[in-house]
Amino acid sequence: MYYLTRLVEFEASHRYWNPEFSLEENHRTFGKCVSPHGHGHNYILRVTLAGYSDPRTGMVLNVKELDRILKEVSSEFDHKFINADHPAFHDRIPTTENLAIAIWQRFAPKLSNAKLHRVRVYENHDLFADFYGEE
Amino acid sequence: MYYLTRLVEFEASHRYWNPEFSLEENHRTFGKCVSPHGHGHNYILRVTLAGYSDPRTGMVLNVKELDRILKEVSSEFDHKFINADHPAFHDRIPTTENLAIAIWQRFAPKLSNAKLHRVRVYENHDLFADFYGEE
Amino acid sequence: MYYLTRLVEFEASHRYWNPEFSLEENHRTFGKCVSPHGHGHNYILRVTLAGYSDPRTGMVLNVKELDRILKEVSSEFDHKFINADHPAFHDRIPTTENLAIAIWQRFAPKLSNAKLHRVRVYENHDLFADFYGEE
Amino acid sequence: MYYLTRLVEFEASHRYWNPEFSLEENHRTFGKCVSPHGHGHNYILRVTLAGYSDPRTGMVLNVKELDRILKEVSSEFDHKFINADHPAFHDRIPTTENLAIAIWQRFAPKLSNAKLHRVRVYENHDLFADFYGEE
Amino acid sequence: MYYLTRLVEFEASHRYWNPEFSLEENHRTFGKCVSPHGHGHNYILRVTLAGYSDPRTGMVLNVKELDRILKEVSSEFDHKFINADHPAFHDRIPTTENLAIAIWQRFAPKLSNAKLHRVRVYENHDLFADFYGEE
Amino acid sequence: MYYLTRLVEFEASHRYWNPEFSLEENHRTFGKCVSPHGHGHNYILRVTLAGYSDPRTGMVLNVKELDRILKEVSSEFDHKFINADHPAFHDRIPTTENLAIAIWQRFAPKLSNAKLHRVRVYENHDLFADFYGEE
């Protein structure tokens, strides 16, 4: 049983704003993140698969196949302003937590021979969220 | 269920010395770390909280609140010679293991809406200790 | 004569678009960077000062003073969509080169006892531009 | 109960090739990694021990002792072409997964006072495998 | 006048061996690097161009064009055992210094609108060589 | 002509204090760095040599020889409280600038076949000083 982890970077922007909050409440809660046109990050997406290694390749999942899925998922976010450009975030705040679960929901069904163990999203090197599929 | 991790750096010095050991035994056990006035590190403290995300903010704990607690805890160690300046280490060796449990004991009671999952203390990028609250 | 370098991070978004180009020419030239609402980066600004050290402090410039200036300059960009939010970029493409010269122009006049030697802007760890004041 | 983690780097080369595959199948499966004389990495080996801290030293295992074991194990791979130079890989593909289990098997028996919790092998900063002893 | 720097990684192996030295002299001079089948690194190639920015794009050289050249040059080394696979190193020791000049000689003639200022080759994060075209 | 750069880390503590300043003036100037028993850093020393490569080795200076000198110089500071333990700093403030010149003065005379080009001292990843021998 191995846990194989792979990283991919995507460069996106986001904004924190709750339409049910007053302007003042948004500022108090989200600080500089309420800036109307958003701000950005070099996000790092780090997925971990759990599985047995294929005796013919010595790998849990061929890294080329893993990269293909990672690219498919991350391209929904890469070079985008997430709030405006991604339908799942029109009415959801794109925090690292919410990005982690959204990526899990897109990534997990694409795997056949391995199990998704963890999705980690780094906003920068000081802050990240992990989601393990436990809702 | 999310695991949210945040980092803070503190710059401190420490010394390894067991008063019950002879000078020779201290040198054999701790090597260069017995240097009498201590030596230092850019410590990294990395705390992980476990919790559900608040539907109004999309966060396990507001990062501003988390930073306030982290600063409160890390300032006990930041820019200090831990052995001399921190009461908990007058008679305890400030290893990464002992720093991790001391920080857990200070950090955990300050949280209300989330659970402390892990405290990790890096002395440098080659050595770190994790504590999960299991004594 | 010393060269003292200090870093600060700012989190911003930008878009590449030349209004004199056709849509097709913009896509061919700038690729994914034409995405209409922008995308983002954890920018790193790294300024280098040249000077003699003050014998009373042993520093080219007191780091506290340097940090005050860095914050003043970087806050014009931090948590902003540069194209929309910064007047100097309403009609200028916010490439790393153009950010480096804009930051030089704001930073240099604020220094009194040291000389600005270099402004470096990292968009990510793979790409950065240096400007030394030579126009 | 603490988890103590230590890193060591080793610089090695490897090749992916399954003798039961045709040339074409090897190329399709392993891409550039089939290059006949191998290619290399700055591998990072990161071992985690679980244990109680020794009250006389404040450490799970004396870091000097841990380093001695790490060096003993990593020197089997350091500055080697793993496929040709390491007997365990004459007929096994040296993927990160297979390196992780091989290192576990060599490392675990050398520990007396602490338990090996995890072996992590990074091939580069984008790819790594974890092994926890569960076969 | 800007200096634009771009990075690319290549994963290769190499061996240090001077055929005019005795076995003993090779060992004394090159230590573990004489290992007969080589050992490897995640090399980082960092090229810096000097030039004026194109007013239509705000860039010294379009990053897409720069990446195309970088890929062309680095692919001569990527996933190779440099001594055996690269003709320029059949009778030259592949030190970081010799790699830097070899890459300069291949890279410089491919540039038309900008000047190559520096080639830097990192063998790992502790060792790198710079070449500025001064022979 | 090559520029070869090598890194070494040393772990030390220091204190900023000018005996000619009042307590209040020391606090205003140096902030938390006046803490009486010092605080610490994982310092990184990065030396750059300029020279021609030896045709027999392909290196400006044999890395083994360079490491021997680096160790000799850095061991004066490693695992020390610089103010108390290093004679050159009994009456000099151990800023990164002052450490860079002190290291230059110790390092340069030990070189025979290459020229010292630059000494860089990082206190942490956000602050460093360069010295090129120009007094």
Q: What is the pLDDT of residues C90-99, one digit of tens each?
A: 999 999 999 9
Q: Would you say residue E112 has pLDDT above 90? A: no
Contacts of E117 (CB under 8 A, 6+ apart): E3, E48, E49, E50, E132
A115: how many CB neighbours lie within 10 A of its CB? 13
Burial class (CB in 10 A: 0-12, 13-18, 19+), F89: buried
ipTM: 0.96
More confident: C57 or B113: C57
Contacts of F54 (CB under 8 A, 6+ apart): F60, F62, F113
Please tell me the distance from the alpha carbon of residue C129 to that of residue E5, in angstroms, as a whole number: 6
Burial class (CB in 10 A: 0-12, 13-18, 19+), C112: exposed
Q: What was the pLDDT predicted at F43?
A: 98
Mean pLDDT of D19-28: 98
Catalytic residue among A25, A27, A39, A79: A79
Q: Is B33 a catalytic residue?
A: yes
Mean pLDDT of C5-30: 98
B63·A129 Cβ contact <8 A: no
Q: What is the pLDDT of residues B57-73, one digit of tens each?
A: 999 999 999 999 999 99
Among C84, D16, F24, residue whose Cα is nearest residue A13: C84
Q: What was the pLDDT predicted at B113?
A: 81
* Average pLDDT of every residue of chain A: 97
Mean pLDDT of A114-129: 97
Q: What was the pLDDT predicted at B128?
A: 98
Q: What was the pLDDT predicted at E28?
A: 97
> What is the domain extent for residue B43?
2-131
Mean pLDDT of C55-71: 97
Determine what percent of chain D is predicted with pLDDT higher than 90: 98
Q: Would you say residue E113 has pLDDT above 90? A: no
Residues from chain D that touch B100, judged by Cβ atoms under 8 A, are 2
Q: Which stretch of DSSP H or E encloses residue B71? A: helix B63-74
Please tell me the distance from the alpha carbon of residue D14 to that of residue D84, in angstroms, as a whole number: 9
Among E16, E83, E18, E5, residue whose Cα is nearest residue E44: E5
Q: Would you say residue F36 has pLDDT above 90? A: yes
Q: What was the pLDDT predicted at D112?
A: 86
D97·A64 Cβ contact <8 A: no
F94 at interface of C, judged by CB pairs closer than 8 A: yes
pLDDT band at C67 (very low <50, low <70, confident <90, very high): very high
Q: Which stretch of DSSP H or E encloses residue F113? A: none
Residues from chain C that touch F16, judged by Cβ atoms under 8 A, are 57-58
Q: Would you say residue F112 has pLDDT above 90? A: no
Q: Which long-range contacts (CB under 8 A, 24 or more apart) does D19-22 make?
A: D20/A56, D21/A56
More confident: C112 or E97: E97
CA angle B6, B11, B13 (to 5 degrees): 130
* Average pLDDT of every residue of chain C: 97
Please tell me the distance from the alpha carbon of residue B111 to that of residue B120, in angstroms, as a whole number: 17
Question: For residues E63-80, b (16+ Cβ closer than 10 Å) or e, as one string?
Answer: beebeebbeebbebbbbb
Q: What is the pLDDT of residues F70-101, one digit of tens each?
A: 999 999 999 999 999 999 999 999 999 999 99
A35·C80 Cβ contact <8 A: yes
Please tell me the distance from the alpha carbon of residue C11 to that of residue C42, in angstroms, as a whole number: 5
Q: What was the pLDDT predicted at C113?
A: 81
Please tell me the distance from the alpha carbon of residue B67 to that of residue D118, in angstroms, as a whole number: 30
Q: Would you say residue E135 has pLDDT above 90? A: no
Q: What is the pLDDT of residues B85-109, one digit of tens each?
A: 999 999 999 999 999 999 999 999 9
Q: What is the pLDDT of residues E63-76, one digit of tens each?
A: 999 999 999 999 99
* Token digits of residue A44: 């790092």
Q: What was the pLDDT predicted at B112?
A: 86
Fill in the amino acid letter for F91: D
Fill in the amino acid letter for F24: E
* Token digits of residue A114: 């391995």
Q: What is the pLDDT of residues D38-83, one digit of tens each?
A: 999 999 999 999 999 999 999 999 999 999 999 999 999 999 999 9
Q: How many domains does one find in chain C? A: 1
F119 at interface of C, judged by CB pairs closer than 8 A: no
Q: Which residue of E has its CA nearest to F49?
A: E129
Q: What was the pLDDT predicted at E19?
A: 97
pLDDT band at A79 (very low <50, low <70, confident <90, very high): very high
Q: What is the pLDDT of residues A20-62, one digit of tens each?
A: 999 999 999 999 999 999 999 999 999 999 999 999 999 999 9
* Token digits of residue D116: 């090996």
Q: Which residue of C has its CA nearest to E3?
A: C130
D56 at interface of A, judged by CB pairs closer than 8 A: no
Q: If you search the block for the tokens 């988390």, which residue do you land on?
A: B66
Pairing of strands C39-51, C115-124: antiparallel
Query: Pick from F29, F96, F100: which is nearest to C57 by CB?
Result: F29
DSSP state of A1: -
DSSP state of F59: B
CATH number where E73 lies: 3.30.479.10
